[in-house]
């Protein structure tokens, strides 16, 4: 065995110094990142950076800007929801007592609103046979607390399934009460959405890859809920689609319509209401059910009743809540972009909650094709309202025509039903719809609720 000479000592020391410098460099490039008073793992920082770049193409920030944005973002109380348990503990400790009290107050107010809305929603559903609804009708206050617990659990699960995009989640939550809270510090969205592009090219036969659609629409959470991340939406709109055997149309709808809704800066959720069984299709009843189910699910200001096969050709036709019941599908390619008749109210309509309740929704009595839309028009007029329409230059739609889709049988009773429409409207509608939910599934970009009309698959 030999002891090293002084030359070897010097050599060794140089090697050690070089190693220390190298490791230091690696640590700076790969190690944790400090934002404000916090330190986060670099992979998380990169994930947030990736999200930011994806979300605001062209407007991406440099690392320094992003770091200060994240630090500011963390300061907001709403963000606490998305921190890990450990981080939440730190965050809560740091929060002043005053801030804590304000947050609690806001949360309590939110609960009161939900409870009131639940009660209001139930008024209109007295004859609903859905076992779930009947159970809810009998619910005492204790029962309602239970329901809130279930809702919280749902929220937790949603958070769980989408935890990979935490930054996104701070702004998106499919429970509007929470959403209100999380966006309360944002300023109102502009009345004129700045990113609209005007006329759009639509390929009605497009082969759609839903994974691609999902990727191109960050911020739409599982189940099809979206709220603008950078501003407080002026309109909260439930999109309700009557549906059976139109899978291809639904894909094309998602591909083209979701980016439009996002650009229009509305808060929305897509509810697809599927008729179970083989009875004649009942569009009116499905739409009533969709509105009731959506109203139970969220604090929607208005409801857009949307045929699955209509694709907008100009994004300046806004899906915002209207002053009067509004007919959106004014110029459809199938009808040579002309309004077929002046009282046409089929295709796509949008009504506020008050307007829809005032007219008692659609009639439930139209089985098969035709009449239910004209009946709705009569209800609007006989309740002292008039309809409105956007300019035909922007309200242009393509109707997707596939070779394989089913169509409804024409309803021969539609004219006699129409002749008594106004006599029936008080007792035939939203307040008398009878159904049973047989399936409920959240897909990436929409929620599908399958229903047995009148409680039976055979109707
Ligand atoms: C017209 C109206 C429609 C409705 C219907 C008469 C327009 C642009 N559209 O539609 O709103 O008043 O006449 O009832 O004015 N559906 C299914 N599966 C079916 C049948 C229908 O999902 O088997 C749904 C689907 O959302 C479809 C909608 O019901 O878009 C209307 O049915 P349609 O497209 O077959 O009838 P159409 O275009 O004549
Ligand atoms: Mn159609």
Cut 0.85: pTM above it:
no
Closest CA to 387 of 340, 351, 347, 341: 351
Q: How far is the CA of 307 from the centre of ligand 1 (A)?
A: 6
Tell me, using a 6 A CB cutoff, whether residue 366 lines ligand 1. Answer: no
Place of tokens 């055979």: 458
Q: State residue 81's pLDDT score.
A: 32
**Between residues 95 and 309, the one the model is more confident about:** 309
Q: Name which of 63, 405, 67, 146 is nearest 251 in CA terms.
A: 405
- What stretches of 165-292 adopt beta strand conformation (E)? 225-226, 236-243, 267-275
* Beta carbons within 10 angstroms of residue 333's beta carbon: 16
pLDDT of residue 40: 55
pLDDT of residue 134: 35
pLDDT at residue 430 tops 90: yes
Checking if the pLDDT of 36 tops 70, the result is no
Place of tokens 């499905």: 286
Tell me: pLDDT of 281 over 80: yes
Least confident range from 176-185, 224-233, 437-446: namely 176-185
The Cα–Cα gap between 275 and 244 comes to: 6
Each residue of 1-26: pLDDT tens digit? 444 455 565 666 666 656 766 665 55
Q: Tell me the percentage of the chain whose pLDDT exceeds 90.
A: 56
**Interval between CA 407 and ligand 2 midpoint (Å):** 8
Residue 382 has pLDDT above 90, yes or no: yes
- Ligand 2 (single-atom ion) residues, CB below 5 Å: 309
Q: Is the dihedral of CA 86, 91, 93, 97 positive or negative?
A: negative
pLDDT bin (cut points 50, 70, 90) of residue 403 is low
Residue 116 pLDDT exceeds 70: no
β-pair partners for 111: none
Residues 377-392 have a mean pLDDT of 98
- For residue 226, the cross-strand partners are 268
N residues, the chain: 459
Where b means 16+ CB within 10 Å and e means fewer, 354-387 reads: ebbbbbbbbbbbbbbebbbbbbbbbbbbeeebeb
Domain ranges (residues) in the chain: 39-158, 167-405+412-453
Which ligand 1 atom minimizes the distance to the CA of 245? 18
266 or 112: whose pLDDT is higher? 266
Mean pLDDT (whole number) for 43-66: 40
pLDDT of 67 > 60? The answer is no
User: 417 or 30, which is more confident?
Assistant: 417
Residues of the chain with pLDDT > 70: what percent?
A: 59
Measure 310 CA to ligand 2 centroid, in angstroms.
7
- Structure confidence at residue 459 as a pLDDT band (50, 70, 90): confident
Q: 129 C-alpha to center of ligand 2: Å?
A: 30
In degrees and rounded to multiples of 5, residue 78 shows phi and psi of -60, -25
Question: Considering the chain, what is the average pLDDT of its residues?
Answer: 75
- Range 49-63 burial, b when 16+ CB lie within 10 A, else e: bebbeebeeeeeeee
Q: What is 167-405+412-453's CATH number?
A: 3.90.550.10
Confidence of residue 180 (pLDDT cuts 50, 70, 90): very low
Q: Rounded to an integer, what distance in angstroms lies between the CA atom of residue 10 and that of residue 238?
A: 75
pLDDT, position 353: 98
Predicted confidence (pLDDT) at residue 107 exceeds the cutoff of 50: no
* Residue 359 confidence (pLDDT): 98
Q: Is the pLDDT of residue 133 over 80?
A: no
Q: Among all ligands shown, which has an atom nearest to the Cα of 307?
A: 1
The confidence score (pLDDT) of residue 70 equals: 39
Q: Is the CB of 370 under 6 A from ligand 1?
A: yes
Q: Which pLDDT belongs to residue 398?
A: 97
**pLDDT at 457 (0 to 100):** 84
Please check whether residue 164 is in contact with residue 212, taking contact to mean a CB–CB distance below 8 angstroms.
Answer: no
Which ligand 1 atom sits closest to the C-alpha of 408? 20
Average pLDDT (44-48) is 47
Average pLDDT over residues 110-129: 34
Q: What is the pLDDT of residue 407?
A: 81
pLDDT at 294 > cutoff 80: yes
Parallel, antiparallel, or unpaired for β 396-399 and 331-332?
A: parallel
Q: What is the mean pLDDT of residues 205-221?
A: 95
* Structure tokens given for 171: 């702004």
Which pLDDT value is given to residue 259?
98
DSSP, collapsed to helix, strand or coil, labels residue 172 as coil
Higher pLDDT, 458 or 418: 418
């Amino acid at each position: 065995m030999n002891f090293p000479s002084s030359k070897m000592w010097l050599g060794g020391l140089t090697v050690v110094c070089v190693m220390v410098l190298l490791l230091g460099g690696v640590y700076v490039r790969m190690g944790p990142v400090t934002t404000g008073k916090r330190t986060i793992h670099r992979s998380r920082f990169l994930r947030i950076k990736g999200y930011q770049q994806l979300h605001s193409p062209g407007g991406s920030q440099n690392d320094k800007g992003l770091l200060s944005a994240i630090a500011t973002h963390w300061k907001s109380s709403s963000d606490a929801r998305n921190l890990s348990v450990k981080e939440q503990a730190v965050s809560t400790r740091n929060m002043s007592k005053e801030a804590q009290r304000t947050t609690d107050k806001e949360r309590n107010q939110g609960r009161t609103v939900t409870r009131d809305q639940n009660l209001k929603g139930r008024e209109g559903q007295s004859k609903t046979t859905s076992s779930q609804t009947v159970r809810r009708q009998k619910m005492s206050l204790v029962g309602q607390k239970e329901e809130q617990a279930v809702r919280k659990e749902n929220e937790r699960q949603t958070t769980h399934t989408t935890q990979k995009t935490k930054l996104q989640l701070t702004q998106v939550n499919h429970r509007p009460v929470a959403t209100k809270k999380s966006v309360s510090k944002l300023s109102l969205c502009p009345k004129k959405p700045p990113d609209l592009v005007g006329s759009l090219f639509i390929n009605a036969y497009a082969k759609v890859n839903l994974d691609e659609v999902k990727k191109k629409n960050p911020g739409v959470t599982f189940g099809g809920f979206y709220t603008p991340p950078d501003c407080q939406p002026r309109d909260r709109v439930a999109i309700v689609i009557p549906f059976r055997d139109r899978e291809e149309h639904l894909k094309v709808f998602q591909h083209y319509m979701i980016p439009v809704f996002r650009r229009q800066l509305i808060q929305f959720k897509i509810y697809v209401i599927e008729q179970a069984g083989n009875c004649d299709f009942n569009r009116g009843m499905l739409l009533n059910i969709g509105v009731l189910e959506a109203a139970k699910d969220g604090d929607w200001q208005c409801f857009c009743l949307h045929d699955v096969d209509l694709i907008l050709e100009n994004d300046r036709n806004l899906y915002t809540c209207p002053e009067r019941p509004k007919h959106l599908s004014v110029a459809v390619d199938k009808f040579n972009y002309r309004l077929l008749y002046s009282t046409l109210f089929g295709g796509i309509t949008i009504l506020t909650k008050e307007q829809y309740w005032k007219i008692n929704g659609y009639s439930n009595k139209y089985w098969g094709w035709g009449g239910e839309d004209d009946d709705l028009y009569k209800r609007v007029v006989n309740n002292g309202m008039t309809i409105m329409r956007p300019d035909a230059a922007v309200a242009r739609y393509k109707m997707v025509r596939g070779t394989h889709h089913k169509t409804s049988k024409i309803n021969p009773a539609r004219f006699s039903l129409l002749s008594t429409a106004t006599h029936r409207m008080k007792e035939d509608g939203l307040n008398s719809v009878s159904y049973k939910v047989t399936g409920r599934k959240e897909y990436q970009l929409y929620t599908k609720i399958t229903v047995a009309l009148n409680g039976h698959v055979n109707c």
